Structure 1
Amino acid sequence: MRAVVTRVKEASVKIEGKICGQIETGYLILLGIAPEDTAEDATHLAEKIVHLRVFSDEAGKMNRALAEVNGSVLVISQFTLFADLKKRRPGFSKAAKPEIAIPLYEEFMAQLEARDVHVERGEFGADMQVYSLNDGPVTLLFDTNEV
């Protein structure tokens, strides 16, 4: 499971011109799922992200977690995080098929919600327009095979 986590002042997602998810302070999370990923990966990743301390304290140091700033998350499914880039046209055989990816996408968001995080979401497989006002910018890459 891979996640690109960006600290944002605001973020939203539109589908067919209509906003279907929107947050203010928090994280925009682009989530990619591999065929071998499991519910345990979703739990582990959610735990890491919830306790990540990248929001500024009074001294301007990155020392606060999401809950300490009353933050939310916007989660967007992103199969392209598992693109094979050996050729000019990306291949996506390393990304999980929907029958595997959708339940794990939902499980990841459920794990965040179980930790009292407000979650907004895109729509799996939809053509989405994602907007964000990055804060910092602070952008981190997580891979459950490495963390």
Structure 2
Amino acid sequence: MKALIQRVKGASVEVEGRRLGAIDQGILALIGVEKHDDEARADKLLHKLLHYRIFGDDAGKMNLDLQQIEGGLLLVSQFTLAADTRKGLRPSFSSAAAPEDGQRLYHYLLEQAQKRWSKVATGEFGANMQIGLINDGPVTFLLET
């Protein structure tokens, strides 16, 4: 399971002009699900999302996590993160989970996140989404489990 995370001052997701989710300061996490992923990998990724220290402390060092700053978590399904781009000029999606498996694991991750943190927002799995964000830094990391 992969998450491309961005530290944001704010982010939102829309589908067909409807705002589905929005956060203020926090993490925008684009989530990619691969064939070998399971609930244990989703749990590990969630732990990283909630505890990854990418926010500045009083000295400006990245020592604080999402919960310490009481930030929001915006989870957005991102099928293309599972692409293999090592060869050629066209992405291969052979390592991506089947749509039903990807949806099941994405929703599992979302449900677990909502149980563990009160400030969770989401887009719509499989939809054509428009994401707006103010990247803080910029600070962007690729997390893999």
Same fold (TM over 0.5): yes
Residue of structure 2 in register with 1:97 after alignment: 98
- Partner of 2:67, secondary structure, is helix
Q: Report deviation, 1:84.
A: 2.7
Residue of structure 2 in register with 1:12 after alignment: 12
Question: Which residue identity lines up with residue 120 of structure 1 in the other structure?
Answer: A
Superposed, 1:3-82 pairs within 5 Å as 3-82=3-82
Deviations 1:29-80 (A, max 9, x none): 0000011100000001101121111111111111111111110111111110
Residue of structure 1 in register with 2:108 after alignment: 107
Farther off after superposition, 61-70 or 27-36: 61-70
Farther off after superposition, 83-92 or 125-134: 83-92
Q: How many residues align?
A: 144
Alpha-carbon RMSD across the aligned residues, in angstroms, is: 1.2
Is the CA contact 1:22–1:74 (under 8 Å) kept in the aligned structure 2?
Answer: yes
Q: Report deviation, 1:102.
A: 0.8
Residue of structure 2 in register with 1:129 after alignment: 130
Between the aligned partners of 2:117 and 2:128, the Cα distance in structure 1 is 29
- Partner of 1:67, secondary structure, is coil
Q: Structure 2, unaligned stretches of length 5 or more? A: none
TM-score computed with the length of structure 1 as normaliser: 0.92
Q: State the identity as a percent.
A: 47
Residue of structure 1 in register with 2:83 after alignment: 83
